Amino acid sequence: MKEYKDQMNHTIRLSAPPRRIVSLVPSQTELLYDLGLEEEVVGITKFCIHPKEWFRTKNRVGGTKNISLEKVLSLQPDLLIGNKEENEKENIENLKSHVPTWMSDICSLSDAIEMIEKVGELVGKTVKALEISAQIKDSFAQFKSENFERFSGESPSVLYLIWRNPYLSAGKNTFIDSILSECGFSNFTHEDRYPEIVMNSKKSPNYIFLSSEPYPFKEKHIDELNLIYPKSKIILVDGEMFSWYGSRLLKATAYFKEIYLELN
């Protein structure tokens, strides 16, 4: 029996490498795919859209907030992998009473890298996980060195919106806040987590990023917000690149370079 500690400081015990895994979080599902667990992953959520072939063919156990215990148990899993923020606590506690459940808790890039390495060890793919985490660390280090001027002096402010009616933004102590900082921006929102924003033009951010998820912002919303913040540059951004904390981070810095070009 081997023990594994998750990012919420809970310990699970496995007698052998897991052979029937259910993933409860989209970004971690994509990581499991990139770790080469085609046969081992038997269940995902309805929001696990990457990779497309898994979305089409894998069993779905509900949404991230309403996982079906009945569907999970029908798959006879020996491991569940979830996340503190994306999954409901009560739902997870219920699942834990039936199946070993490993939970991530991610608010920074370093947390994400730790998760990748820990999950790799958990599922018997340590070498591949270390390869992925090293590539991510190298890509962000190179990204910063190539854009050094953006990481010195006063950072331009970004209001990062994730919802409309009411407007909600990504605030402090979120993974998105960490990624904004990694990109050389400061967060216009100083409150924690995902506060509701009262829109007014008394103070304007340098930029407003309208995320593609969870609310699907479109071009028409740029026009709407330009009326309130005429001095701010407003663009649509790929929410997956700012909020997915698995192996999608391998693609993130190339995307952030495109964002810089759009802002200039």
> Worst-scoring range by mean pLDDT, 73-87, 147-161, 217-231, 232-246?
147-161
**Domain-embedded: residue 142:** no
Say how many domains are in the chain.
2
Query: Which H or E element spans position 93?
Result: helix 89-96
Which of 137, 159, 184 corresponds to the end of one domain? 137
The yes-or-no verdict on residue 127 having pLDDT over 90 is yes
Written as six digits, the tokens of 247 are: 């192996």
- 154 lies in the same domain as 243: yes
Cis peptide before 166 (omega within 30 of 0): yes
Please state the rounded mean pLDDT for residues 243-259.
97
Instruction: Please tell me whether residue 107 adopts helix, strand or coil conformation.
Output: coil
- 60 lies in the same domain as 118: yes
Which of 137, 163, 196 corresponds to the end of one domain? 137
Please state the rounded mean pLDDT for residues 203-229.
95
Sign of the Cα torsion 217, 220, 223, 228 reads: negative
The yes-or-no verdict on residue 149 having pLDDT over 80 is no
pLDDT at 91: 95
pLDDT at 199: 86
The yes-or-no verdict on residue 139 having pLDDT over 90 is yes
Contact 88, 66 (CB under 8 A): yes
The yes-or-no verdict on residue 153 having pLDDT over 80 is no
pLDDT at 150: 75
Which of 137, 159, 176 corresponds to the end of one domain? 137
**Domain-embedded: residue 224:** yes
- Convert the pLDDT of each residue in 104-121 to its tens digit: 999 999 999 999 999 999
Phi and psi at residue 46, in whole multiples of 5°? Answer: -70, -10
pLDDT at 73: 97
Round the average pLDDT of the chain to a whole number and report it: 96
- Convert the pLDDT of each residue in 37-81 to its tens digit: 999 999 999 999 999 999 999 999 999 999 999 999 999 999 999
- Convert the pLDDT of each residue in 14-40 to its tens digit: 999 999 999 999 999 999 999 999 999
pLDDT at 55: 96
The yes-or-no verdict on residue 152 having pLDDT over 90 is no
CA distances from 202 to 59, 68, 199, 208, 230 (A): 50, 46, 9, 15, 11
The residue range of the domain holding 38 is 2-137
Question: What CATH number has the domain bearing residue 198?
Answer: 3.40.50.1980
The yes-or-no verdict on residue 148 having pLDDT over 90 is no
Please state the rounded mean pLDDT for residues 156-179.
97
